[in-house]
Amino acid sequence: MFIFGGRFSNKRLGDFWVLDTEIWQWDFAAASSIGDRKIVMHGGWDGKKWLSDTYVLDTMSLEWTELAVTGTLPPPRCGHTATMVEKRLLVYGGRGGGGPIMGDLWALKGLIEEENETPGWTQLKLPGQAPSPRCGHTTTSGGHYLLLFGGHGTGGWLSRYDIYYNDCIVLDRVSAQWRRLPTSGDPPPARAYHSMTCVGSRYLLFGGFDGKSTYGDFWWLVPEGDPIAKRFTASPLEVIPQNKDDSVHSHKESQSEGSAILELQKRLEISASLSNSGLQIVDELEDREFLELASGLIGEKVSNNGQEIQAVRDHWRKSEPGSVKLKELGPLLRDYQRLITRHYLANGGADLISTESRFPGKDSHRFYHIKSASKLRMDDIPKLLEEYKQLSSD
């Protein structure tokens, strides 16, 4: 996450801090990544006035450039969201100058240099069940949808207090309309100024504020067909039950794999409970992100001849840590785990010592137990890539 500005006591800050991730948002202004190198920031409040300007940050040179935009601009605002969707930046809601809370949707073109478009704003008025005006909400991109959650709005002229929301509204990019997302189970308490991140097909909610209390809780929103739910369900992170059928199935498979897995757990210092708590080794042809990367490298749809799989592995063997894109980390981590598992199963655990001699000490295969690439730190990537190159060359 790139963190810019904010408030310390009565002083407003303009400093810049960097923590790498895929979602960008900070206090009062809103921002989103453009590809792997740039960030676009729009609007905000500088302590004296609401803003409607747009800046682009080059994360390599750390240089800001103001985007020269022609035509009508969105009204100045803060507490809005800015979400990059393919070639357009979508801005929704926020609080405007003088205090009104907005419910408008705008799209900005001209952010992709290769398109050679003149930067300009267009207000979008879409059909369907549009969200009520609000600020402090989140808008998270996932697949063909944008999921808007929470935020707060005014309670009307008879009320002195804002209304806080916990509703889910989806912007369907295919049909270009809004719709309410029905959920089952007990929803999270209403809140604003939280974070919502798309993790695969799930959405992870953290924190927020409801006008009185500050939250530090985690909630998952999971889709139909997810192993942990049969319908869309909001569940506190700490109490999600494991699917019993899946657990039994995994247990039966681990019994057939025999002592090699037990030896692997012992060597990698992984407890049995941790290894069975969600780490699943999937085949390359069932790894959607791996196949998409293969298709991108060879320029055609992946078949079943193994040539494309080898192309991906050759790509990573030739890569330097700084050239590995964020979207590649998930497929890279899963393929690393595949190679380790297959190696030990094929050899019955007999040559663990000879293989580990290339990675001395407890650090050998240190990333095997990690369930998600989101758990990796930036300084883990060179180590992961080094181990992967050794494994894939065997």
Is residue 41 within 8 A of residue 54, CB to CB? The reply is yes
Neighbours of 355 (CB within 10 A): 18
Say what the pLDDT of residue 257 is: 40
Q: What is the pLDDT of residue 100?
A: 83
Tell me the C-alpha distance between 210 and 164, whole Å.
6
Interatomic CA distance for residues 301 and 132, integer angstroms: 42
pLDDT at 196: 95
Instruction: Measure the CA–CA gap between 188 and 220, rounded to whole angstroms.
Output: 9
Return d(Cα 370, Cα 363) in angstroms, integer. Answer: 13
10-residue mean pLDDT profile of the chain (394 residues): values are: 45 44 53 89 87 91 92 94 94 87 96 90 95 95 92 72 91 92 89 92 92 92 67 41 31 38 50 46 85 82 71 92 88 90 63 43 69 81 91 80
Q: Is the dihedral of CA 324, 326, 328, 329 positive or negative?
A: positive
3-state SS string for the chain? CEEEEEEECCEEEEEEEECCCCCCECCCCEEEEECCCEEEEEEEECCCCEEEEEEEEECCCCEEEECCCECCCCCCEECCEEEEECCEEEEEEEEECCCCEEEEEEEEECCCHHHCCCCEEEEECCCECCCCCCECCEEEEECCEEEEECCEEECCCCCCCEEECCCEEEEECCCCEEEECCCECCCCCCCECCEEEEECCEEEEEEEECCCCEEEEEEEEECCCCCCCCCCEEEEHHHCCCCHHHHHHHHHHHHHHCHHHHHHHHHCCCCHHHHCCCCCCCCHHHCHHHHHHHHHHHCCCCCCCCHHHHHHHHHHHHCCHHHCCHHHHHHHHHHHHHHHHHHHHHCCCCCHHHHHCCCCHHHCCCCCCCCCHHHCCCCHHHHHHHHHHHHHCC
